Structures are given as C-alpha cells and as structure tokens.
Amino acid sequence: MNNCFVPMEAEILRADQVTKSEKHFTLRMKNGCRMDFAPGQILEASLFGFGEIPLGFASSPTRKDSFDLVVRTVGRVSGAINKLEKGQSVFVRGPLGHGFDLDRLRGHDVLIIAGGIGLCPTRSLIQYILDRRSEFKGFKLFFGSKSPQDQLFLDDLSAWRNSPDVEYHETVDKGDPGWTGNVGVITTLFQKTKITPDTRTVICGPPIMYKFVIKELEKSGVPHNHIFVDLERRMKCGIGKCGHCQINDKYVCIDGPVFSFDQIKHLEEVFG
C-alpha cells in the first residue's frame, strides 16, 4: 500500500557552499526517474534520523535530468543536509503543491521580484523563461539581498547582468567597499525602470517584503490578479494534512506555495 511519507533517494551530483550558510545542491533521482516538477513547486527533503524540511526547486525542469536545491542552515535538518557532499544521498518527496501558472505568464511582460533566499524558487522560473524566451514578452528581474556577501548564484547574476534576454536590476540593503551597485531596499529598484500595467509579476522573499512591493505595483497600475506571490510557511507533511502551513483556511502546501494575489488578498493571515 502506498505510503505518501516514504521518500525516494536522490544522489548529490554537485554540492557548492555558496554563502556562509547556504549550500547549492544538484541532485538526480537514484531510480533513474525524472523529477517531473513545474517551477514554483516544492518538495520535502530529508535525512533519516534528522527529519524533513520543505524546499522549493531552484532549477528549471527544462534543464537536464537533474534538479537543484539550495539549503540554508537554520536548524538540525538543514544543518545535517549541508554537511553532505557529492556522491551522498538526500531523500525527497515531491513534487508537491502548485507552482507558477505558466499559461498566465506566457505572451506577457514578466517581472520577477526576489528578496534574499527567495531567489532560489524563482530561479526555477527565471531559467524556464530564459530557456523559452520567445514565449514571453519583456522580462525584468529585481533582486535584493542584505549585503553583497549574501548574494546567491553569483555565476547566474553575472550572466544576467550581461544578458540581452533579461533586464536585471539588483540592490543590497547595505553595501561594502567593493560594491558599486545600488544600495537600498528592493522597492527602490522601481525607480530604475518602467513597469507596464500589463506586466505579470512574481514576488518571493522575506515576509516583510510583500506589502511594500505590492504597493509599488499598484502605483504602476498592475492589477491584483496579475500578481503572483510565492509564500513560505512552517510545513510538516506537504500534503495538506498537518496544519502547520495554514493561512486562514488555505494550505500553503497544496493550495500554494504560489498564489495569485487576488485569490488570497482577503485572508487576514497572509502577510503575518
């Protein structure tokens, strides 16, 4: 009888310590199956004896037979996973939840706004769009992090800075002597470019960020049903049972983690 809690083994093909606390893994399923996910979906990753944590896919399904995860060391499980190296295994259950509704993005201008580690799940969508660039119109990306040392995916960032396929803007809350770019909160990036009202916008970042970003989008005339938020909550089962991820009556693990803003804006608990 199928037991939805039994995970599958995935082998680590690559493991890079990308910041002091974050490690970037590339994984492949041991049984040879493809992890058949959509950008924005999540999975539960675990190590036996330590436990499970929910994570968003950090790569696009358009890329190879592997997938990427970024793990930030915050507790027992993430700490244990981040000690692993190439050749070792992580155990995964997924894909889980609802990702980005690509049909609602195709054929339109797209703006992705990522704060901090929120770049990981959105990287899946960024890669997807870059791989199928002709399916989308204008593509802008805002990325904000605390400091230059906190920036993730440095190779990607430098590629995006020079890419004709994406209009990339970045900022840090606090610079350092080597930093020549923007300094300030992520909403300051709205001054750098013009957002058309037709833009489909995706937001993923720390809980505090959403309200301010949505206010800026409203100023640009972007309607609420064109705003998609990727939310994070405590999660134990990932299958809509354990109750930890609830926002009012919605379960982030099955109804989300990506929601269209108009679908949840009436929920009092949505932004904490």
Partner 1 sequence: MSYFFLKESDLKDFVRKLISSAPVIAPVARKNKFVFADLESPDELRLDYDITILPPKKAFFPPNQTLLSFKENKATSAIRPREQILFGVHTYDVKAIDMLDLLFAENNADNNYLANRKATTIVAMTPQAVSGRAFWESVGKTVQPNGHDALMTKIREGYVFEPRTPQGTRLTKSGIFSQASSGQLDEASKCQSEIAAKCPEKLSHSTREISDKMRASFNNEKIWHTASLDCFSCGTCNIVCPTCYCFDVQDQWNLDQVSGARYRTWDACLTEDFAKISLGPAGAENFREERAERFRHRMMRKATYLNSRLGGPACVGCGRCSEGCVPDIADPVKIINNVMES
What whole-number distance in Å separates Cα of residue 272 and Cα of residue 167?
31
What whole-number distance in Å separates Cα of residue 175 and Cα of residue 261?
32
What whole-number distance in Å separates Cα of residue 120 and Cα of residue 140?
16
Residue 178: CB minimum distance to partner 1, A? 21
Would you count residue 206 as binding partner 1 (CB under 8 A)?
yes
Query: Of the candidates 120, 247, 258, 264, which one interacts with partner 1 according to CB under 8 A?
Result: 247
Residue 78: CB minimum distance to partner 1, A? 8
Please state whether the peptide bond connecting residue 164 to the residue before it is cis, i.e. omega within 30 degrees of 0: no
Dihedral pair phi/psi, residue 202, rounded to 5°:
-120, 130
Question: Of 150 and 165, which has the nearer Cβ to partner 1?
Answer: 150
Give the count of beta carbons closer than 10 Å to the beta carbon of residue 21.
15
Contact 8, 52 (CB under 8 A): no
Would you count residue 148 as binding partner 1 (CB under 8 A)?
no
Question: Of 40 and 205, which has the nearer Cβ to partner 1?
Answer: 205
Question: Of 71 and 111, which has the nearer Cβ to partner 1?
Answer: 71
DSSP 223: -
What whole-number distance in Å separates Cα of residue 145 and Cα of residue 170?
8
Would you count residue 32 as binding partner 1 (CB under 8 A)?
no
Residue 201: CB minimum distance to partner 1, A? 22
Q: Which two tokens stand for residue 250?
A: 């919605």
Would you count residue 1 as binding partner 1 (CB under 8 A)?
yes
Would you count residue 268 as binding partner 1 (CB under 8 A)?
yes
Would you count residue 131 as binding partner 1 (CB under 8 A)?
no
Binding site for partner 1 (CB under 8 A): 1-7, 9, 21, 46, 48-52, 72-75, 89, 91, 116, 146, 206-207, 232-234, 236-237, 239-244, 246-249, 254, 268-269, 272
